[in-house]
Chain A
Amino acid sequence: QKEVEQDPGPLSVPEGAIVSLNCTYSNSAFQYFMWYRQYSRKGPELLMYTYSSGNKEDGRFTAQVDKSSKYISLFIRDSQPSDSATYLCAMSGWSAGNMLTFGGGTRLMVKP
């Protein structure tokens, strides 16, 4: 079983929809949680960064972390065709090593 599980999708939604992306993880040492967006044939770019449990909002994006359930989410409001990409959750922690451990990525398609 992988340390970080993520539904690969693809997830297809109409423009304007609310999108929910999720990851579960097994290593309780993870403390820092990130969401990266990756367009086709490009490098991952950081979208959201959260430390420990809680919510964080940035524009149309909201990240949630529930450490007790080992579950993280990314919500995208008013989704746009330009949001079509692969979304990767990633996490790290001191006792888990400084490297990022990624989920497999969810491919999102927002249709106009």
Chain B
Amino acid sequence: DSGVTQTPKHLITATGQRVTLRCSPRSGDLSVYWYQQSLDQGLQFLIHYYNGEERAKGNILERFSAQQFPDLHSELNLSSLELGDSALYFCASSVAGGEQETQYFGPGTRLLVL
């Protein structure tokens, strides 16, 4: 158990809908990262937050957004969902967000868009 929690574990929804994925980092970690894992693209970085502020963006679609709250939990919002958004979404956390730090991954949320 990495100490990173994610809810829900599974999500089934329809095209055009909006969903929110939630992540709680390990105790003491200030940085949260979101990744998407799909069969064709592998594990790809989406966005990084540090202590409530956005630090870096990767291959994140404009339909997706995220935020980190004062209690350090983070939410990833996916809107206008398409079939191709079906994937595993992972959250990871680290102490401060330096490139040398270990990132600890949560169990993931499996999203299926029908």
Give the interface of A toward B (CB within 8 A).
31-32, 34, 36, 41-46, 49, 51, 88, 92-94, 96-105
- A31, A43, A99, A104: the one contacting B58 at CB < 8 Å is A99
CA distance in complex: A103, B55 (Å): 23
Contact, CB under 8 Å: B108 / A98: no
Which residues in chain B, 35-93, are within 8 Å of chain A measured between CB atoms? 35, 42-45, 48, 55-56, 58, 90, 92
- Measured CB to CB, the closest approach of chain A to B5, in angstroms, equals 11
Extra inter-chain contacts (18) besides given A42-B108, A45-B105, A99-B33, CB under 8 Å: A36-B105, A44-B90, A44-B105, A45-B2, A46-B103, A46-B104, A49-B102, A94-B99, A97-B56, A97-B58, A97-B99, A98-B55, A98-B56, A99-B58, A100-B45, A100-B103, A102-B42, A103-B42
A43-B90, A44-B90, A88-B43 known; A98+B97 contact, CB < 8 A = yes
Residue of B43, B108, B110 most packed against chain A (CB within 10 A):
B43
Contact, CB under 8 Å: B99 / A32: yes
A94-B99, A98-B48 known; A42+B43 contact, CB < 8 A = no
A88-B43, A99-B33 known; A31+B105 contact, CB < 8 A = no
- B44, B98, B106: the one contacting A43 at CB < 8 Å is B106
Contact, CB under 8 Å: B45 / A46: no
* Chain A residues whose CB sits within 8 angstroms of the CB of B97 once the complex forms: 98
Give the interface of B toward A (CB within 8 A).
2, 4, 33, 35, 42-45, 48, 55-56, 58, 90, 92, 97-100, 102-108, 110
- Measured CB to CB, the closest approach of chain B to A94, in angstroms, equals 5
Residue of A45, A97, A99 most packed against chain B (CB within 10 A):
A99
What residue of chain A has the Cβ atom nearest to residue B101's Cβ? A98
